[in-house]
């Protein structure tokens, strides 16, 4: 019997997941199968192909030369199958299908309420399964196909991804109402000299951005107290544990009590976060993703241009 008649999509998916994760154990976790079942399927695949696909050692699992040669083809097969399934749903009247959207926890909850309604009104068959992760995890998840597209913050480094610039989001300075700077009419970067600045945990890109800002203006990052979210960061500022920089969309969404915090711009401090929509260059739905990115940019420009800075280019 020909090899093509005996190969299964399951085996190809198992192969790509192991290659991308570098571990049978991690791959089994991602695929929600037992490790023995995974190993059994790979053994069948290797026998069928008459090739060894992986080398195992104490340091983990690596792909053989032959495995590396086959990996791009395996990825393309899975992309095409996903595209085939999506298009078949549309043709059968089942709608556009469900797409897995990864978002950062410091952006998603404060942007999505503004864009999901208009998108759903235009694409009623479109469903988005949303999952929050840190930017570095989002990029990795997009590459290993846990996400179909991601709303994330620059930089995104992989050349395998298409990155569409959406908008720039300023950071706002927040102090408690009993802080020495709360009543000062105008703030400039010299006011930040020696200030204790709070931030969220270091695995977020937002953390690194705040550290770089503090180094530039002579402020001090409070490393003994790090927030687990923007909400906990805000509460620590309210309690007088330090100052903070908060994303403008978060401020618009969550800070309504004017007597709780002083939110201000600081002259000489123009820090923004660059937000993008990204997807794999090989995705069969790349034309739809490009249209969706343009729609999101237009919605932001129409409804949020008083808060963020839309980017009017398709790059």
Q: Could you tell me which CATH number the domain at 170-272 has?
A: 3.40.190.10
Give the burial string for 255-276 (b: 16+ CB within 10 Å, else e). eeeeeebbebebeebebebbbb
- Residue 264: pLDDT over 70: yes
The residue-averaged pLDDT of 82-109 equals: 76
Q: Which of these, 206, 177, 188, lies nearest to 275 by C-alpha position?
A: 206
Question: Tell me, what's the pLDDT at 269?
Answer: 85
Confidence label for 56 from pLDDT (cuts 50, 70 and 90): confident
Question: Tell me, what's the pLDDT at 92?
Answer: 57
Does this model's pTM top 0.75? no
Question: Tell me, what's the pLDDT at 220?
Answer: 87
Write the DSSP assignment of 144-173 as a string of letters. TTS-SEEEEES----TTEEEEEEEEEEEEE
Question: Tell me, what's the pLDDT at 84?
Answer: 80
Q: Confirm or reject CATH 1.10.10.10 for domain 3-88, answering yes or no.
A: yes
Q: How far is CA 248 from CA 18, 57, 171, 233, 302, in A?
A: 40, 48, 6, 14, 16
Domain spans in the chain, listed from the N-terminal domain onward = 3-88, 94-167+273-310, 170-272
Question: Tell me, what's the pLDDT at 93?
Answer: 52
Cis bond leading into 155, ω under 30°?
yes
What's the CATH fold of domain 94-167+273-310? D-Maltodextrin-Binding Protein; domain 2 (3.40.190)
CATH topology agreement for domains 94-167+273-310 and 170-272: yes
Confidence label for 214 from pLDDT (cuts 50, 70 and 90): confident
Q: Which of these, 273, 282, 278, lies nearest to 296 by C-alpha position?
A: 278
- Rounded to whole angstroms, the Cα distance separating 74 from 37 reads 20
Q: 107-141 pLDDT, tens per residue?
A: 999 999 999 999 988 887 788 899 998 877 899 88
Confidence label for 4 from pLDDT (cuts 50, 70 and 90): low
Question: Tell me, what's the pLDDT at 306?
Answer: 92
């Amino acid at each position: 019997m020909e090899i093509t008649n005996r190969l299964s999509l399951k085996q190809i998916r198992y192969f790509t997941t192991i290659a991308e994760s570098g571990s049978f154990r991690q791959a089994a976790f991602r695929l929600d199968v037992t490790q023995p079942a995974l190993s059994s399927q790979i053994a069948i695949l290797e026998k069928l192909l008459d090739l060894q696909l992986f080398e195992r050692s104490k340091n983990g699992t690596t792909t053989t030369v032959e495995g590396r040669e086959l990996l791009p083809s395996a990825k393309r097969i899975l992309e095409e199958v996903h595209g085939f399934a999506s298009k078949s749903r549309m043709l059968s009247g089942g709608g556009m299908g469900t797409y897995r959207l990864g978002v950062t926890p410091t952006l998603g909850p404060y942007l999505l309420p503004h864009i999901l309604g208009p998108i759903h009104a235009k694409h009623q068959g479109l469903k988005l399964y949303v999952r929050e992760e840190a930017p570095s995890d989002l990029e990795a998840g997009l590459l290993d196909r846990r996400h179909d597209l991601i709303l994330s913050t620059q930089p995104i480094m992989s050349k395998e991804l298409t990155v569409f610039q959406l908008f720039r989001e300023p950071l706002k300075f927040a102090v408690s109402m009993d802080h020495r700077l709360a009543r000062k009419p105008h703030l400039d970067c010299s006011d930040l000299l020696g200030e204790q600045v709070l931030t969220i945990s270091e695995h977020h890109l937002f953390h690194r951005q705040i550290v770089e800002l503090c180094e530039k203006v002579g402020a001090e990052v409070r490393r003994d107290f790090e927030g687990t979210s923007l909400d906990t960061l805000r509460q620590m500022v309210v309690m007088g544990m330090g100052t903070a920089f908060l994303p403008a969309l978060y401020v618009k969404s969550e800070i309504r009590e004017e007597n709780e915090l002083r939110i201000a711009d600081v002259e000489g401090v123009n820090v923004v976060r660059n937000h993008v929509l990204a997807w794999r260059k090989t995705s069969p739905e790349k034309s739809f993703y490009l249209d969706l990115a343009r729609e999101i940019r237009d919605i932001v420009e129409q409804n949020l241009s008083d808060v963020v800075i839309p980017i009017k280019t398709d790059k």
